[in-house]
Structure 1
Amino acid sequence: MSQIIRTPVSPAELEARLRLHRLPELGPARFRKLIEAFGSASRAISAPASAWRSLGLPAACAEARRSAEIRDGASHTLAWLERQGQHLLMWDQPDYPALLAQISDAPPLLFVAGDPAILEKPQLAMVGSRRASRPGMDTAAAFSRSLAGAGFVITSGLALGIDAAAHQAAVDVGGQTVGVLGTGLEKFYPQRNRRLAEAMIASGSAVLSEFPLDAGPTASNFPRRNPIISGLSLGVLVIEASVASGSLITARLAGEQGREVFAIPGSIHHPGARGCHQLIRDGAVLVETIEHILEALRGWQQLPFSARAPAISTDHPLLMLLHAAPHTSEALADASGWALPKVLVALTELEMDGRAVCESGRWFARVS
């Protein structure tokens, strides 16, 4: 079996890889199998159909590889790559994210809109329910702001709910964030988050996908982004999730990939907390403040910076505490050293100003 190409990819080889990537029923494993068998995509494209059949590949793959539709799709992608801020990362090239390359099912091609260099920075994945509660959204935003301020790139799936709150909060504080799509970059889904994705790209962050540019929102594609989200990251923080949530799949994959798994607990009466409680029972780190995350990651040998708690851009001491994590009134009194009546008066003022909100007995900093 031939060795995989490790030299720079020629224009002809790039075009051949893009054609292979678009073939029906040809996922990452079969893509690699072809490259390993023939030594290059160019040779694979020109090989006889009998050679493809001998590898156990579906007949549809061999039949489609020379079609006009496949050629046109590859040509369109090459034109897309000519535009500023649009990139293709290949698994056997030096600019492919090193941490992602370690996982067994790393996608052979990644299409990136924005700055691909941030994929080499320390990333923390934040995931959770698409139908998150207001406290869950505020918790996601608070942790994202703090973790982005500590130097982490915030990585998530650009879905509604927790994902969007995490991305938006990172952008709001001038941090960096990565969105991993379950569609092609030209078939963005969900449309409600398109402006957020554009803001991410414009501010120096990135949106990426393993799928061809025109791949639509099919149900089978969305789970495939989970191992990418966890694979890019040092750890995965689950904010709010039911026991049937896809976020638990991402957390399980993170554990299998040797990443840290973090979960924020909630009320025993809230269905959206049960997934997090299950993760904690299974060994996830119980998180109440970002210090619990920073403490777990300080020992990670690949962490190239001295993780520290961020400085929050606010002059109110209670908001500084709430930006780090939600608190009860009593916990704020203990943490701040203020008398409880003084804390209650201050919280009332913050609530009237729209800067804090109380939900289920805990106070949250409001998302700006």
Structure 2
Amino acid sequence: MSQSDISPAELEARLRLHRLPEVGPQRYHALFRAFGSASSALSAPASAWRALGLPPASSEARRNPEVRDGASAAMRWLEGCKQHVLLHDQPDYPALLAEIKDPPPVLFVAGDPGILEKPQLAMVGSRRASRPGLDTAAAFSKCLAGAGFVITSGLALGIDGAAHQGALDIGGQTIGVLGTGLQKLYPQRHRALADAMIANGSAVVSEFPLDAGPLSGNFPRRNRIISGLSLGVLVVEASVASGSLITARLAAEQGREVYALPGSIHHPGARGCHQLIRDGATLVETVEHILEGLRGWRSMPLSTADLFTHSCHPLVQLLQAAPHTSEALACASGWDLPRLLAALTELELDGHVVLEGGRWFARAS
């Protein structure tokens, strides 16, 4: 389980609060703000819940044995190897995800939770992608993972799976965001892929209770996490009705970059990408078009090599004084998060910093 500053009793209370019916992220945060802790919220009178606009079903379910049993089962799950939970008010929570308007208060992670703090690029697209689309997704994923980005997607069939596999194929890291609980992985055809991700330094994550099944409404909801974790979203192949366009719209609303690959005007799977381009997405033909925007290659002075020697780099100096989370380092340096994460990626690739337990450390030269 990830390190945190809360007691086991408070953690179990949060897992109970998280399981209550009709308590999504917004209501969870409202309860947390009102009562200061999940333990206090669970013990508050029903009238106090009504005053916050909570439905009666939510308040009444606090006494439901199934809610308590589900939280206890999650506590046992967290004792397992490579099984963690990230909480919205703890230092190991991903800084970029914390910026969105409705961050998940509880995020279950199977694998390495530390990579959620690394610079990520989301790749999404059609579940029924063409062979050229799948090949393109894999090729872009390999190049971007090789450039130091974590590839984030939804573990769906089609483009998502090709993006995850491409990153793994070159020894890169990738994150799968589920629309189900981690114990109800969907689609099951990607069980081996998910297991390989968990075993090889990547991660599978979900905001839903571990035993939550595949409900159709949960898949669009998880898309905000895919975009929220990432610096930008690349749509490889999508129809105009594709859920990938939801992810792209959320990315734009969250201030993330949106990229789209064009295709043939005769291919229905290209029309969603063409729509995005008409709406202002960056048209992408090569990986360089993404790298120029995200890491400032050849255009913005973000490269550590261009600005500083590593020994006098201001971020390294700050980390030599004390380890920092990404969010704390952004505050201390005055750099915005995208620029900060891009620079940290280059420093990490060159062996001058390392991310451990949600905090960045300077490495001895």
Alignment of 1:138-287 (within 5 A): 138-287=135-284
Identity fraction in percent: 77
Partner of 1:304 in structure 2? 343
1:86 to 74, 83, 87: 83
- How many angstroms apart in 2 are the aligned matches of 1:218 and 1:232? 22
Partner of 1:118 in structure 2? 115
Partner of 2:35 in structure 1? 38
Retained in 1: the 8 A contact 2:119–2:345? no
Task: Provide the aligned length of Structure 1 versus Structure 2.
Answer: 303
Partner of 2:92 in structure 1? 95
Given the two structures, how large is their TM-score scaled by the length of structure 2?
A: 0.81
Q: CA deviation at 1:57?
A: 0.5
- How many angstroms apart in 1 are the aligned matches of 2:60 and 2:294? 49
Q: CA deviation at 1:305?
A: 4.6
1:23 to 20, 33, 41: 20
Partner AA of 1:114 in structure 2: G
Detail structure 1 runs of 4+ shifted over 2 Å in the superposition.
304-307
Q: Which entry has the higher C-alpha Rg, 1 or 2?
A: 1
Given the two structures, how large is their TM-score scaled by the length of structure 1?
A: 0.81
Q: CA deviation at 1:297?
A: 1.0
Retained in 2: the 8 A contact 1:262–1:293? yes
- How many angstroms apart in 2 are the aligned matches of 1:50 and 1:104? 27
SS at match of 2:182: coil
Partner of 2:315 in structure 1? none
Partner AA of 1:84 in structure 2: C
Q: CA deviation at 1:298?
A: 2.4
- How many angstroms apart in 2 are the aligned matches of 1:68 and 1:172? 45
Runs of at least 5 residues in structure 1 that lack an aligned partner in the other structure? 1-6, 311-368
Q: CA deviation at 1:304?
A: 2.5
Q: Deviations over 1:262-314 (max 9, x none)?
A: 0000000000001101111111111111000000112441312577xx9xxxx
- How many angstroms apart in 2 are the aligned matches of 1:216 and 1:271? 31
Partner of 1:314 in structure 2? none
Retained in 2: the 8 A contact 1:122–1:304? no
Q: CA deviation at 1:55?
A: 1.1
- How many angstroms apart in 2 are the aligned matches of 1:285 and 1:111? 33
SS at match of 1:179: strand
- How many angstroms apart in 1 are the aligned matches of 2:277 and 2:172? 28
Q: Deviations over 1:207-226 (max 9, x none)?
A: 00000000000111111111
Partner of 1:76 in structure 2? 73
- How many angstroms apart in 1 are the aligned matches of 2:216 and 2:70? 22
Q: CA deviation at 1:250?
A: 0.4
- How many angstroms apart in 1 are the aligned matches of 2:140 and 2:195? 22
Give the root-mean-square deviation of aligned CA atoms: 1.4
